[in-house]
Structure 1
Amino acid sequence: MRQPFLFAAVIAAALIPTLASAGVGFQHFDIKDPKGGAPLEVGVWYPTASPGKPQALELYTQTVAQDAPVQGRDLPLIVISHGHGGSYAGHYDTAEALAKAGFVAASVTHNGDSWRDSSRATHLEDRPYQLEVLTNYMLSRWVGHDRLNVARIGAFGFSAGGFTVLALAGGEPDLSKLKAHCRERPAFADCQIAAAEKFDVQAPRTWTHDPRVKAVVVASPAIGFAFGKAGLARVTAKVQLWRGEDDPVLPNPYYAEAVRKDLPTPPETHVIPHMGHYEFLAPCPAVMAQKMPEICAHEDGFDPVAFHARFNKDVVRFFKASLKAPGNRKGGAPG
């Protein structure tokens, strides 16, 4: 009896990765910028009945069903904004978790502020505009747009992406506050970037707001102090706010804590002990850790894999609670 049992166990073990990965579809494409800028690179993760297989995703490896049919109706949409110098791929594990939970997660590589090109990194007004372009595309032209519910839209952002989704949700930052902030704290990362890029904090800017966004997850938001109570007064979306207790890039209390204090409605707040900044990115594979140790390093005793299991679970829970289906309202671009 022992050999058949072992044989069955081996077969079951071999099947586990395939069964566990079934349910996440993935698409990668470019979309047009209506203002005539360069095309925007997009990754989309979504529910599917098709099993997945491992494939490269920049320096990561994900297990997905490439271009598989979309499964489900009335699906909520989450748009994702990465941090300074990042890309659409940086939060792929969170996007996968959302897709497994029945969401469509669409992530954009911000033109002018990615690992390929940071020439417009200080043009922060580009970012919420690009997220709106992505949202409009997903609701009107994406192959599964008729599966989406326009009343169930959320946004996720990390670092500069956290700033982005707060602006998208109605925040109006006053970037002139950066001048005094950096005069007192010139060694801070945002001040180093501002100095290197000759950031004109007085330049007129138009901020894109999208009232369709009903909930936002904000992780370690950059330039949080620039909003203030007046700048966040029109943010009515529900907010889940995260920061690392030992963040050396955006240290407390100028960023996430400033946002927490100034939001008109207290957010759901998470402060993670022994955690820095870049740990909000998907856990680093070995090749990434070798090439970018400054991104992948973490404090002794901090387990990024265990953290992301908890983080993704809480992000999914928050969006599920905040974006409950109010009715059968299909997607479509605003008139």
Structure 2
Amino acid sequence: MHTDRKTALLSVEGLSIGFATEEGPIRVVEDVSFAVKGGETLGLVGESGCGKSVTAQTIMRLLPSPPSRIEAGRIGFNGIDLATASEAHMRKIRGNDIAMIFQEPMTSLNPTMTIGGQIAEALLLHRGARSAEARPKVLDMLSQVGIGRPEKRFTQYPHELSGGLRQRVMIAMALICEPKLLIADEPTTALDVTIQAQILELMKKLQRELDIAVLLITHDLGVVEEMCQEVVVMYAGRIAEKAPAPSLFAKPRHPYTAGLLAASPRKARRGQILPTIAGTVPPPGKRGRGCSFADRCPRALPRCREDVPPLLGDAHLAACWNPVP
């Protein structure tokens, strides 16, 4: 099924996520809204601890509840609100309509099952296929993701494959049921640069051929520039900036985004010392009253420590009282 590129396949609206802790409830993600259109890639960017993975796992409803809880908001997908869908309904959607690739293939693959068996499992579960029917489809999928000698790989175990091949297996598992949406959580972090480029090229190729929408979670702005049409920058559980990729890279408006771009090694000259953003992301529960970035921000005003800035703008939005001119 080809999705209309202008309509949002996934629309997250005002999503807030809390966790029950020994100190009481703590809000981890606050008022996050974005939309992923059919056939397009949206990048969700930020340092570790910004709330990217929690947001993605909440879309898939993978976090145990308790301690996690959706406190507000809606997760619209294909006319359904995933925030309130039953667990039985979610089991039908996961791996079938929405698939996910995780950052560490060795811990995501089952060490006791063959590669072929693991990829076939989704077909048996969601499509009611028999093993004999699943095998040719799995072999075809292994070829599609660029794995040579698929018959041999079919009977191998994860520990017999390199990191790059294991990540290709993860992609094959995610795409075997032809999902409408793929969530890729740091899909190339554990790989060296050459393999990383191959995996990203493969993802772009398969996205074009299968017309899949992708939510790409990463801290690597070089990957975002290469892959994404839209970008959402998160900081301390909130959206700092949201814009079409060309606009964000040409003229970042939030000081945090500007800092991330300045610190990216992609455009640096050899031997050049990269600028850094001082400090660290404040943990949930210690994010202050106003803008959570104020203590690290070179453009902070007194107001920044008192009032939370709203997300302002038309196509290019930034949550900042003193944006980069």
TM-score after normalising by structure 1:
0.28
Higher RCO (CA-CA < 8 Å; seq separation 6+): 2
State the TM-score, normalizing by the size of structure 2: 0.28
